[in-house]
Homo-oligomer: A and B are copies of this chain.
Amino acid sequence: MELVNKGKTKDVYKLENGNYLLKFKDDVTGEDGVFDPGANKVGLTIEGAGRSALKLSKYFFELLEEKGIPTHYIDADVEEATMTVKPAKVFGNGLEMICRYRAVGSFLRRYGMYAKEGQPLDALVEVTIKDDERNDPLITEDALCMLGILTHDEYETLKELTIKISNIVKEELAKKGIELYDIKLEFGKIGDEIVLIDEISGGNMRAYKDGKYIEPLELEKLILND
C-alpha cells in the first residue's frame, strides 16, 4: 500500500486493486487553535476528530448511496479511521462546490455591502479553486470553462448534484433540530460519471442549533446519537 498524498486532514494510500484508502487524521482546519471549516490550513489537533469525521462521512455516504447519488465510497473501518474509495479524477487540481443557505463566512466577507450576517440564501452554489497559495479564489462558470477546467454540461451537473446532496444533508440535520448554514463538497469523475468524493463531516459544513454554531465532534454526536 503506497502513500500517494499527505493531505491536511487525511492521508491517501493506493491499494493494489486500484482503489484508494483514506486515513482520517485528528488534524482539523482552523486558525490560531480555533476550528474554522472555511480555513485553509491545519489549525489544531483534536483527539478523536478523524474517527468522528469518518463516522459522519460513512453515515452520509451510505445515505446518499441509498438515494441513488453516485459517490466514490466503498466502505469504512471506523476503528482504523480508514475509508476505502474508488479512484476518481478531480477537475483541474480540485474544486470546492459550496452550497449556502445563510450568509456567513467568505460570502459575508465578500458581499457584506449587500448581505446581512445570517441572511437566508436559497441553496446558492459557488465554486472555489483549491489553491492554498491564493486562498481558494472564487471562480465563475464562464472562467471554469474558458480555462478548460470544466465543460458547461459538467458545471450544470455539478451544480445540480451539489444542491441535491446539500438538501439531503440539510434535511437530515433538521431532523435533529440543527440548521445547515453552508456546506462544501468535492467531486471527481469515474469514467464519464461525476461522483461525490472526499468526506461529509462537520469539517465541511457550518451547522447551528438554537442560533449557536456546533463544533464538528458535537455535530457528529448529535446526528448519530452516540
Residues of A bordering B, CB below 8 Å: 92-93, 107, 109-115, 121-122, 124-126, 129, 131, 133-134, 137-143, 146-149
Closest to A143 in B: B124
Closest to A140 in B: B140
CB neighbours (8 Å) of A140 from chain B are 126, 138, 140-141
Task: Please tell me if the beta carbons of B92 and A147 are within 8 angstroms of each other in the complex.
Answer: no
Distance A124 CA – B111 CA, assembled complex (angstroms): 22
CB neighbours (8 Å) of A148 from chain B are 114
Closest 5 CB pairs of A and B: A110-B137, A114-B147, A113-B131, A124-B146, A140-B140
Q: How far is the CB of A99 from chain B (nearest CB, A)?
A: 11
CB neighbours (8 Å) of A143 from chain B are 107, 111, 124, 126
CB neighbours (8 Å) of A122 from chain B are 146
CB neighbours (8 Å) of A107 from chain B are 143
A109 touches which of B115, B125, B134, B146 (Cβ 8 Å): B134
